[in-house]
Structure 1
Amino acid sequence: MSITVSFLLLPSLVFLQTVVIAQSTTVCTTPTPTPYQRFASTETPTTAFHRKNSNGEENRSTWKQCVWNTTNATDDGLIHECNFTVESCGNSLHVVYSGVNRVYCNGYQECCSRWYFTFDGDECDDPAPIDLVVFKRYTEDSPYRTRQMEGYCDKMPNGVVTVGLHVGTCKGMIDELANAYTGWNEKSPSRILVQEMGPPQDQSESMPPP
C-alpha cells in the first residue's frame, strides 16, 4: 500500500517541480526609461541632471535663479538677463518670471504691454513664444500687481544661453506703446528661474508652426 502511494505521489511532485522551474526562468523585458524615469534606474545618469558641485557632491537637477529688486520703467526693450549653461544638447529649458507689473495708458483709450522671454536674443519658436500680455483701458485703474509667466523652450543647444526678459508692444493687437513698469522698489523682488529639463514625452502634441 505504501509503495502504491509513493508511486502515485511521485509524478505529482515531479510535475510541481517542473512548474516552479518553468516560472522561475521567465524573463521580463524592461523598457528603455524615458528622460523622466531615468533616475529610477540603478545606473548612473550621464546627463546634465547628474553633476558634481565644488564639494564633490552629486546633484540631480540643474537650475538657476536670478533676482533683482529695482523698478524698471522701460516701455520697449530689455529688462533683465540671466545666463544659464545648458549641458545636454537637445534638452528643454523651463523658464519662469515672477514680479510686479503695471501698465498705464499715455492718453490712449486702450493700451497693452507684452513681457516675453528671449534665448540668445530670439524668442522661442519650439514650440511657441513665452509671453505675458497686460491689456487695459484708459478709464481703468493701473495698480501694481504680481504676475507670473512660465513655459518651456525645446531643443536647446548646449553651452551658455542668455535668457532675457523683455517688454514691448502687443503684436498685432494694439500698436500704441504703453507706459510699462517692471518691479516695485526694493521690497518687492523680481526673479527669473531657469531649469534644464529632458525633452518632452510626446512632441507631436506641440503647437504646429504657423
Structure 2
Amino acid sequence: MRLIFLGPPGAGKGTQAKLLTEKHAIPQLSTGDMLRAAVAAETEIGKRAKAVMDAGQLVSDEIVNEIVSQRIDSADCARGFILDGYPRTVPQAVALGKILDEKGLRLNAVIELIVDEAALVRRIENRVKETIEAGGKVRSDDNPEAVRKRLVEYREKTAPLSDYYASRGELKTVDGMAPVETVTREIDRILSEAAAVA
C-alpha cells in the first residue's frame, strides 16, 4: 500500500499515519527524517544535501526527489509506505509520478484531511493550554501565530496539490474534523476500495 497524506499542519495526518504504520507494517516517510538519515549515512546524495544545509540554503527538489527515490527502494518499503510532507509542490508530485513509473509502482491513494482552519487554531490553543496546565513543555512552533503562518504557507505552496491529484482522479477527501476513530474508519474504507480495484 502506497499512499500520500495531504492536509494542513495540525490536521491529524501524523496520528492517522501512525495508526496505519502499525496496522499494515509499512513505514511513514517524512522528508525531514529521510534527509537526516541520508546525511547521517554519508551517502553521496546525503553529502550533497549536507553541503547545501551547511550553507544555510534550502535543499533542492532534485536532491529531495533522489533521496525519496532511494528510500522507496529500502527493504522496509517493499509492502508499501506513507508519504507525509512530500510531495510539497506540484513539480515534486510530477517527479514522484516519474519515480514510481520507473520502479513499476503506483499510488494506491492520495488522501486529503479537510479541516476548518479557525478550528485548527483553536485546537492548537487548547493543546498549548493543556500542556502548560500539565506542567509540560510547549514546542516553539506550537502557538496560534506560528500555526496561522504555516497555514498561509500551506495554502500557497501545497494546496495546489489537491487540484493536481483531483484532476488525475486520485484524490480522496476525508473530514479531518471528525473524531479520530471516524477518520480512521473512513481512511480504511478508501484503502479497501483502492485494494479492490488494484
Q: Same fold (TM over 0.5)?
A: no
Structure richer in helix, relative to its length: 2
Say which structure is richer in strand.
1
Q: What is the TM-score normalised by the length of structure 1?
A: 0.22
